[in-house]
Amino acid sequence: MVTVLNNETKNLLVEKIANKNACIGYVGLGYVGLPSALKCLEVGYAVRGFDKNSAKIRKLERGISYISDIQDTEIQDALHTNRFFISTEMNYINECDVVVICVPTPLERTSKQPDLTYIHSAVNELVKYIKKGTLIILESTTYPGTTREEVLYKLEQKTNFKIGVDIFVAYSPERIDPANQSFSIQDIIKIVGGVTSNCTDCAAAFYSNLIKGIHKVSSPEVAETAKLLENTYRFINIAFINEMTQICNELNINIWEVIDASGTKPFGFQKFYPGPGVGGHCIPIDPIYFKWIANNKNLTTKMIDVAREINENMPKYVLNRALQLLHDKDGKNILMIGVAYKKNVNDARESPALDIMNDLMLEGYNVDYYDPYIGELFVGNNTLKKSIDLNLSQLNKYNLIIVHTDHDCINFKLLNETNCLILDTRNIFKDESIYKKNIICL
């Protein structure tokens, strides 16, 4: 009798998901939640989107996108379906059969330890309104144990529902790469780890309608750690190539040519490229989450520690390269090309550009920037900077141009027409036909 009851709620939910009769709720409408919500709409689900940022909700209500990957017309089309409801209030969560939590997981500003404030807030609201038969999935990147300790525990303490019987809890890490046109949401295999086998089955049933491939794992902890491994792998390899770059510069060897040469080997080598530092909401943050949980168990993280030191020093390295180039110049004007943390996004979170610009300003230089994706930003001690217009007469007033972000839409040929020094941190000017002596690679 118990077995029948266990499967009854699960089977009803799986049937609703399969028939597209389930209502899907997304808590957090950022670079993960919003495109995922739109994907659910596309396949036929009713969607409820929740975000505490009222400015975001107002923009969406007016049909305006705040994410570079999503066009305004996509938001407008979503609103016209009459299946897309958005709010700052979580009380509508009781309409949802599936709730996906995809809120930020930053580091605390002073301690640089994991900050789960957004997860805590989401779960505290969720437990007030959740109904029987709901699937709750955490997608936010976090350290192993979070789903069980922060989501499952509160659901057990604050509700009378039995996990795996009345409600279902799973972890499935977001794997979205903003501005990556080669891999969209449905192309990237989804890792799913439930608290129970029923939980895993429900989560897999949901994602199978959205994603081409599902990879089930034995627990939320495995899924949580898999995401941290992916990004820590990148973090460490970026640090390695950044260190190689500094060594090669001292040996008067072009690191970019070295990488291309090594890349001709068809096995045992993957290309990583140097840059001004790591930025964004994942690569500089996720390894620190892994370090934190390891250190809490009295385990060392030597590779992460060394990689962190190298990557965090790269903005200083760029600064020193710039100062060396300008040491015998009278002018004090510098232009930063691109301030976003990566190409083709409107996001400057953790961007190395902010540190480089601030340090140059502290050295007494006048620093401007051009970024078609970011109209204005605060640098250093809340100094407001606005993106300049890019034209030849404007460019010629600068003593040094630093290429920081290689957005596809930037006219780099225009930069090549100037006679001022260019410090190229992205190897934009690798083509020998446009390479000039005033262009210096990182």
DSSP-derived secondary structure letter, 195: S
Inter-residue contact 205 to 181 (CB < 8 Å)? no
Side by side, the strands of the sheet bearing 98-101 are 84-87, 46-50, 23-27, 98-101, 135-138, 168-171, 190-194, 214-216
Inter-residue contact 340 to 371 (CB < 8 Å)? yes
- Residue 282 annotated as catalytic: yes
Catalytic residue, chosen from 282, 409, 420, 441, is 282
Residue count (the chain)? 442
The answer for residues whose C-beta is within 8 angstroms of residue 422's C-beta and 6 or more apart is 400, 401, 402, 403, 415, 429, 438, 439, 440
Pick from 210, 211, 212, 209: nearest CA to 15: 209
The answer for residues whose C-beta is within 8 angstroms of residue 14's C-beta and 6 or more apart is 201, 202, 205
How many angstroms separate the first and last alpha carbons of the chain? 69
C-alpha–C-alpha distance, residues 374 and 247, integer Å:
33
Q: Active-site residues: which are they? A: 282
